[in-house]
Amino acid sequence: MGYEKDIYGNELEREDQLVELKHQDVIINRRGAEYLLRVANFVDDLLVRFYGLEPYYNAKSIDDLVGQLVITLSPHTSCGVMGRIIGFSDANVGFAHPYMISARRRNCDGDEDTTMLLLDALINFSREYLPTTIGGTMDAPLILTIHVMPEEVDDEVHAMETVTKYPLEFYLKSYEYPSPSEVNIETVKDRLDKESRFYNINITHIDSIKSIASAPKKSAYTTLKTMQDKVNAEFNLMDKLACINQRDAAKRLIISHFIPDLIGNLHTFSKQEFRCSICNAKYRRVPLSGKCTKDGGKLLLTVSKGGIEKYLNMALNLAERYDLEPYIRQRLELVRDEILNLFEENAIPKKQFSLSNFI
């Protein structure tokens, strides 16, 4: 597999030695490996029974997948990156080198990625399978990156430091609140023209690293069921951290996420289509008959009330919890009134008033 020495240059003799991950190797979780094992068996059956060829993988257990090539692909992209399986993790997550993650147009923010066997992608792929709609080419490996070059990936990873510890000057400088560019710490950017850009990237706090398996097996974000639970957990944690300005965080969340989402959903509702409950035929406007013209099925809305107001109460609660500015509260109240006008019977006058009623 090409791993001969640990990060200190010692020969590999024990299971507890720490090694540096090669930049196109991946570690996948065991549940994902079990799935890929079934895919490998399917591909072998396809080769034998359909193409009249010899099986390729001959995998009996997930251990037989070690060393096999895969394609990794991030959502909403169409450029896959080739990698190699070198092991498995009990954690519900995949591990990859920062170069690999950056090559997939991802920045370690917890988003999901795809891992597929290389042969599966090569023999079970055709443009004929893809939708003709806008975005239909997304989530399919139309392009394959074989060699990941650090200088060609997203420059966000170029800012990653390559030192084992921060010098005293770094901590003293932090009192002056300087721009990061003013602090002299070696980063990947300083190595882009050197062979060392591929190895000895280093990590800080090496002595505290025992095993990647010692981390939590699942992200709390995946164990919490509802968005309300996730937001509550997030701000309960913020309330305990002295370094966090909770009021500013709540304001950013509401302005950057909740309000645009609420307004966008209202806009989508006003332009939504109608769907037949029987044949799923879609209509831009309701026919004069009030039902599907194909089979007489009932027409349903494609955007629900719950989908529109799902963030409203959370936003209102945060605005009250952290006593945000009246401007933000008023914006939320205006959105709430728009939703009430759309859905609440009590918000609609039962009798049409004339202008004389107000004179």
Answer yes or no: do 151 and 34 share one domain. yes
In a domain, 77, yes or no: yes
How far is Cα 153 from Cα 102, in angstroms, rounded to an integer?
A: 6
In the listed set 121, 141, 158, which residue is the last one of a domain according to the structure? 158
Q: How many domains does the chain have?
A: 2
Instruction: List % helix, strand, coil for the chain (3-state, nearest 5).
Output: 45, 10, 45
Tokens of 72: 């990794």
Answer yes or no: do 144 and 238 share one domain. no
Q: What is the pLDDT of residue 65?
A: 96
In a domain, 99, yes or no: yes
Q: What is the pLDDT of residue 179?
A: 87
Q: What is the pLDDT of residue 250?
A: 94
Cβ contacts of residue 191 below 8 Å, gap of 6+?
Answer: 150, 162, 197
In a domain, 221, yes or no: no
How far is Cα 346 from Cα 340, in angstroms, rounded to an integer?
A: 8
Q: What is the pLDDT of residue 355?
A: 64
Q: What is the pLDDT of residue 270?
A: 79
How far is Cα 98 from Cα 150, in angstroms, rounded to an integer?
A: 10
The whole domain housing 112 covers 25-158
In a domain, 108, yes or no: yes
Q: What is the pLDDT of residue 76?
A: 84
In a domain, 143, yes or no: yes
In a domain, 189, yes or no: no
Answer yes or no: do 112 and 29 share one domain. yes
Answer yes or no: do 150 and 30 share one domain. yes
Answer yes or no: do 37 and 144 share one domain. yes
The closest of 186, 126, 118, 145 to 24, measured between CA atoms, is 145
In a domain, 198, yes or no: no
Q: What is the pLDDT along the chain (359 residues), one digit of tens a residue?
A: 899 998 888 999 988 888 899 999 999 999 999 999 999 999 999 999 999 999 999 999 999 999 999 999 988 888 899 999 999 998 888 899 999 999 987 667 556 788 999 999 999 888 888 888 777 788 888 889 999 999 998 888 998 999 988 889 889 998 999 888 788 899 999 999 999 999 889 888 777 667 777 777 888 878 888 888 999 999 999 999 998 999 999 999 999 999 998 888 888 887 888 889 889 888 888 888 888 998 888 888 777 777 788 889 999 999 999 999 999 999 999 999 888 887 765 444 556 666 666 66
In the listed set 105, 136, 158, which residue is the last one of a domain according to the structure? 158
What's CA 111's distance to the chain center, in Å? 2
Beta strands in 146-216 (DSSP E): none
In the listed set 158, 181, 200, which residue is the last one of a domain according to the structure? 158
Cβ atoms < 10 Å from Cβ of 233: 14
Tokens of 229: 């639970």
Answer yes or no: do 137 and 246 share one domain. no
In a domain, 29, yes or no: yes
| Residue position matching structure tokens 């400088």 | 173
Answer yes or no: do 324 and 234 share one domain. yes
